[in-house]
Chains A and B, each alone.
Chain A
Amino acid sequence: MPNSESSAILVTGVGVTSAIGCGKAGFIDALLKGHGNFSVMKRPGRQSGDTRFLGAEIPSFEVPDIVPRTLVRTASLSGQVALTTLHEAWNDARLGEVDPTRVGLVVGGSNIQQRELTLAHETYRGRLPFLRPTYGLSFMDSDVCGMCTEVFGIRGLAYTLGGASASGQLAVIHAIQAVDSGQVDVCIALGALMDLSYWECQGFRALGAMGSDVFANEPERACRPFDMRRDGFIFGECSGAVVVERASTASRRATEPYARVAGWAVQMDANRNPNPSFDGEVSVLLKALAKADLAPAAIDYINPHGTGSSLGDTTELKAIEHCGLKHAYINATKSLVGHGLSAAGAVEMVATLLQMRARRLHPMRNLDEPMDETFNWARQPVDHAIQRAVKMSLGFSGINTAVCVERL
């Protein structure tokens, strides 16, 4: 049964920070122009010895003035980007007008500050007694919750959750459920920036998950979801925030809702390993569609997980085809932004909503030779007013998630 009008769950605010654009206006502009920003990574703690790990790093961003400078000094990169991204979503949804005890925050991501920890360990190795006291606060991911709730006065609920590369979308689903259950009136889902150190980069490379051998000397060509010459994901720093609430509370403020949340689902594969599962992906897609009470034919846009992993992309296309969704337009936001890991699901939900509002789909980079030409690829920017979209987000250890959103 579709929700009645006042109980419908809407998205009323978004925020985004990425390597190709910060803020929703800059982000959608960069997406529609097909921008990328891939190179050999330069941030301290990203390389060791002769490594040349590829990725997309945020060139610069401005922490808003509302954040006390003393907090900025001790905030990790993930924390600073979270505060900046949340600030945009907060203002977008006019959350200053909501009772703070009825506002919640779910931060998607675990072990998100690895590079900062590596740098601290290197700085204080052999000098342990001089370790800064704030390390005792900041090493926990929940420090991001502490900083965000303090700065924005959030008193409803706040926690971090981990779902590997599906963390961002899992946070969106938890935020939806927190509103659906009446725990809070408004809930913000934030996909936190996963700050990899060279240790995690090496681990992902050793697993065969992260590229690129083929394009080691051509970073701008390395990130190529669904292309025949893909050889793994390419990391991209980013963070996204999505505000969800019922239409009945949104209508009390001058909000401009982006979409209605129609359906959602989570499905585990009972599998510790990184490999994808056709059955799990089919199941989660069908469950989300069923909850939305939508036939596959009603979906006209898919934002896939689409990392550029060899088996992952193959499995996902099979699942999409099996579910009768092959007709829908599809593009891979990761081809432009890179893989934000913990942030990916939230950032790509923001990309979906902004494309819906822009009535235009972003192109894909490096889709020179699609794995399957018969899918409805948005290889170039195309005018398309998305009516109903499904966003897939998957992760290691057998997690599958899907969320359907519908134009209002």
Chain B
Amino acid sequence: MNSQEIFAIVTRHAQEVVPGLENHQFEPTQSLKDLGANSIDRSEIVMMTLDSLSLNIPLVETVKATNIGELVNLLHAKL
């Protein structure tokens, strides 16, 4: 799976969790926090993404990512 596909999965789950992002133009430089996700929302989005990717890594390993692009790169490297 390439980074673009992972990006699409992250943003799809962000739309499920955070209201009002249905028509949002996501950019890799945007952070989930700035898009309105609180810490619980963020952990939900990341867990849903891990589930979609069948990627079993501790959530704590994803906290270093400060924006969506970094999260995608981090996950891509673990696949």
Contact = CB atoms under 8 A, between A and B. Distances in A.
Interface of A: 68-70, 73-74, 127, 129-134, 137
A133 B50 contact: no
Interface in B46-79: 47-48, 50-51, 56, 59
28 contacts: A68-B19, A69-B19, A70-B17, A70-B18, A70-B19, A70-B41, A73-B16, A73-B17, A74-B44, A127-B51, A129-B50, A129-B56, A130-B47, A130-B50, A130-B51, A130-B56, A131-B47, A132-B44, A132-B47, A132-B48, A133-B40, A133-B43, A133-B44, A133-B47, A133-B59, A134-B40, A134-B44, A137-B40
Q: Taking chain B's interface residues, is the majority helix, strand, or loop, or is none over half, making it mixed?
A: helix
B: contact size bracket? 10 to 19
B45 to A, nearest CB: 10
Contacts, number: 28
Contacts of A69: 19
Contacts of B44: 74, 132-134
A73 B20 CA distance: 13
Contacts of B50: 129-130
B33 to A, nearest CB: 14
A68 B40 CA distance: 15
A32 to B, nearest CB: 39
Nearest to B59: A133
Nearest to A133: B43
A235 B16 CA distance: 33
B42 to A, nearest CB: 9
The 8 closest A-B pairs by CB, nearest first: A69-B19, A130-B51, A133-B43, A129-B56, A70-B19, A133-B44, A133-B47, A132-B47
A128 to B, nearest CB: 10
Given A130-B56, A133-B40, A134-B44, 17 more contacts: A69-B19, A70-B17, A70-B18, A70-B19, A70-B41, A73-B17, A74-B44, A127-B51, A129-B50, A129-B56, A130-B47, A130-B51, A132-B44, A132-B47, A132-B48, A133-B47, A134-B40
